[in-house]
Amino acid sequence: MPILRALLAAPLVLSLLGLGTASLPSEPHLTPAASYLPRLVVQGGAPAAALQARNSAYPPYDFYSSAGSGIRPEDRFRAGSITKTFVATVVLQLAAEGRLRLSDPVERYLPGLIRGHGNDGRRITLRSLLNHTSGLYDYTEASGVVGGVGPSAPALTAEAAVRAAVARDPAPVRGIFAYSNTNYAVLGLVVQRITGHSYATEIRHRVLVPLRLDGTSLPGARTGLPEPHSRGFHRDRPGGTLRDVTALDPRFAGAAGELVSTLADLNRFYTALLGGRLLPPAQVRALLDTRTAQGAYGLGIYPQKLSCGTTVWGHDGRIPGSYVRTATTHGGGRSLTFRVNTDTLPDETLETALLEAEFCRSPATERRRP
């Protein structure tokens, strides 16, 4: 899934070799996925890559591994579009409470905001925002609305982002899956209208505090990362010099991608979500329903079927200085999150190979290897 692709335009705009391993508490061979980390560093030119894998069945393990230098297990980093799963969780909780229906039109909560150029909030439902079938243009691709990366970069409010998207003729067709960050900018505004609180406040109250995700935050206007954190880097062009983009104004990403988190926190969140701890059964079924999006996307989460037949659920995140991918099995029994501290991958097939190395094997068999 692309996340904030306009963040990577030139000049850089807002658009997640040494080896080191540490295990908690298992041996390194328990996670063959770790063997792909050096390739992410060498082929991708990233200073460092890291992963954390968790299994709650026998044998249980929580394993961290890294390649390169500059990433520690407890480091905070920008998680980009993984924010969308958190926002979707809040919306589904509100649906479970009867405070909204997924079939409600956007117009009911934000009258007049989406109107013109073929866009009509009376015909766009909350469900279509959640699964990217609304037909709304992606505001990150609207020219003239993106500022440069850095602590003094101009911010873009959610309302301005939506208006910039609505001012463009809709690129996709309504009812067809087409990933658009505008959908989640709108959902953030809907949450605020219904609850009287920002989506960030609702995420903290409903998700971060109950799950004790102490390394996760929504920074708002804060340009720096909480300690401890590693640096994030970007190349303006292939083969170019790495540039430190750790400090940036995340308000442009907003409900579509501002989250800051840790590897362990993301595993804990998706484990709880897929394990039914955050949503009632009816909302879990809605979360994983990909039919409207032609199998590509549920509600803030998407599936990937691996060659062994296992399907994992999760999201990726891309924002300047960070690429993140998280995946969890249905029921939350096994999860893995990996990251690199740049915003590109050398080869998307490496991501699939890494996931298959983790999920297409028997942990018990791996435990018996000499």
> How many C-beta neighbours within 10 Å does residue 358 have?
26
Q: What is the CATH number of domain 5-367?
A: 3.40.710.10
pLDDT at 346: 67
Peptide linkage before 11 cis (omega within 30 of 0): yes
CA dist list (Å): 265 to 59, 127, 230, 268, 270? 21, 27, 16, 5, 9
Cα–Cα distance for residue pair 213/282, rounded to 1 Å: 25
Which residue type is seen at 165? A
- Half-sphere exposure of residue 217, counting CA atoms within 13 Å on the CB side? 17
| All residues at 6 or more sequence positions from 271 whose CB lies less than 8 Å from its CB, including other chains | 54, 56, 328, 332, 335
Rounded to whole angstroms, the Cα distance separating 361 from 94 reads 38
Between the CA of residue 286 and those of 43, 130, 207, what are the distances in Å? 39, 10, 18
What is the chain's pLDDT, residue by residue, as a tens digit (370 residues)?
544 444 443 333 333 323 333 333 334 445 789 999 999 998 878 899 999 999 988 778 899 999 998 899 999 999 999 999 999 999 999 999 999 999 999 999 999 999 998 899 999 999 999 999 999 999 988 755 554 444 444 567 899 999 989 998 765 677 899 999 999 999 999 999 999 999 999 999 999 999 999 999 999 999 999 999 999 998 877 777 889 999 998 988 999 999 999 999 999 999 999 999 999 999 999 999 999 999 999 999 999 999 999 999 999 999 999 999 999 999 999 999 999 999 877 677 899 999 999 999 776 544 443 3
DSSP per-residue codes, 208-263: IHHHT-TT-B--TT--SPPSSB---EEESSTT--EEE--S--GGGTGGGT--EE-H
Q: What is the pLDDT of residue 151?
A: 45
Type of residue at 82: I
Domain locations along the chain: 5-367
Give the residue carrying structure tokens 């998680």: 79
Contacts of 179 (CB under 8 A, 6+ apart): 1, 2, 132, 138, 297
Q: Which two tokens stand for residue 166?
A: 């609505």
Helix or strand run (H / E) with residue 188: helix 182-195
